[in-house]
Structure 1
Amino acid sequence: MSINDNILIKIRDMKESLTPVERLVAEYILENLEEIPHLSIKSLAQLTKTSDASVLRFCKTMGYTGYRSFIVSISASLGSMDEEQKHQYTDIQPGDDLSIIISNISRNNSKSIEDTLSVIDKNEIARAVKVLRECKRIVFFGIGASGLVGIDAEQKFSRINKMCHTYTDGHSQLTAATLLEKNDVAIFISNSGDTMEILDTLEIAKKNGATTIAITKYNKSELADKANIVLSISTPEVTIRSGAMGSRIAMLTVVDILFAGVASAEYKNVKKYLTKTHNILASKHRK
Structure 2
Amino acid sequence: MSYNYLEKLLRPYIKSFNDTEKIIADHFIKLGHDVVNKTLSNLADDTGLSEATIFKFVKKIGFDGFPNFKISVASNFQNIEERKNELTVFSDISKEDSSYAIAQKLVYSNKLALDNLIGSLDEERINQALNLIYDSQTIHFFGQGASSVIALDSYHKFLRTRFLCNYISDYHMQLSYATKLGPNDCVFLFSHSGETNETIEVARILRNNQVNIIVLTGNHHTDLVKLSSISFVVDSEESAFQSETLTSRILYLTIIDILYVALMYHDEAKNKDSLEKIRKALAVTKKGGTKR
Question: What TM-score does the superposition give when structure 1 sets the normalisation length?
Answer: 0.70
Distance 1:25 1:223, change over 3 A: farther
Secondary structure of the structure 2 residue equivalent to 1:164: strand
Q: Which has the larger radius of gyration?
A: 2
- Equivalent residue for 2:90? 90
- Equivalent residue for 2:268? 267
Matches within 5 A, 1:89-168: 90-91=90-91, 93-94=94-95, 96-168=97-169
Give distance in 1, aligned partners of 2:117 and 2:249: 12
Preserved contact between residue 137 and residue 185 of structure 2 (Cα < 8 Å): yes
Distance 1:162 1:77, change over 3 A: farther
Deviations 1:121-176 (A, max 9, x none): 22111111111111011111211221111101111111123212223332122112
Q: Letter of the aligned partner of 2:10 in structure 1?
A: L
Distance 1:39 1:159, change over 3 A: same
Matched, 1:185 2:186: yes
Give distance in 2, aligned partners of 1:132 and 1:210: 11
Give distance in 2, aligned partners of 1:37 and 1:209: 56
5+ residue gaps, structure 2: 1-7, 13-26, 64-68, 77-88
Give distance in 1, aligned partners of 2:287 and 2:28: 61
CA RMSD of aligned residues (A): 3.8
Matched, 1:205 2:185: no
- Equivalent residue for 2:216? 215
- Equivalent residue for 1:81? 61
Give distance in 2, aligned partners of 1:203 and 1:37: 53
- Equivalent residue for 2:11? 9
Preserved contact between residue 10 and residue 61 of structure 2 (Cα < 8 Å): no
The higher relative CO (CA closer than 8 Å, separation ≥ 6) is in: 1
Give distance in 2, aligned partners of 1:243 and 1:251: 13
Measured after TM superposition, the shift of residue 279 of structure 1 is 3.8
Deviations 1:57-78 (A, max 9, x none): xxxxxxxxxxx9xxx9x99986
- Equivalent residue for 1:63? none
5+ residue gaps, structure 1: 1-5, 11-23, 45-67
Question: What TM-score does the superposition give when structure 2 sets the normalisation length?
Answer: 0.69
Q: Among all aligned residue pairs of Structure 1 and Structure 2, give the percentage whose two residues are the same amino acid.
A: 24
Give distance in 2, aligned partners of 1:240 and 1:7: 16
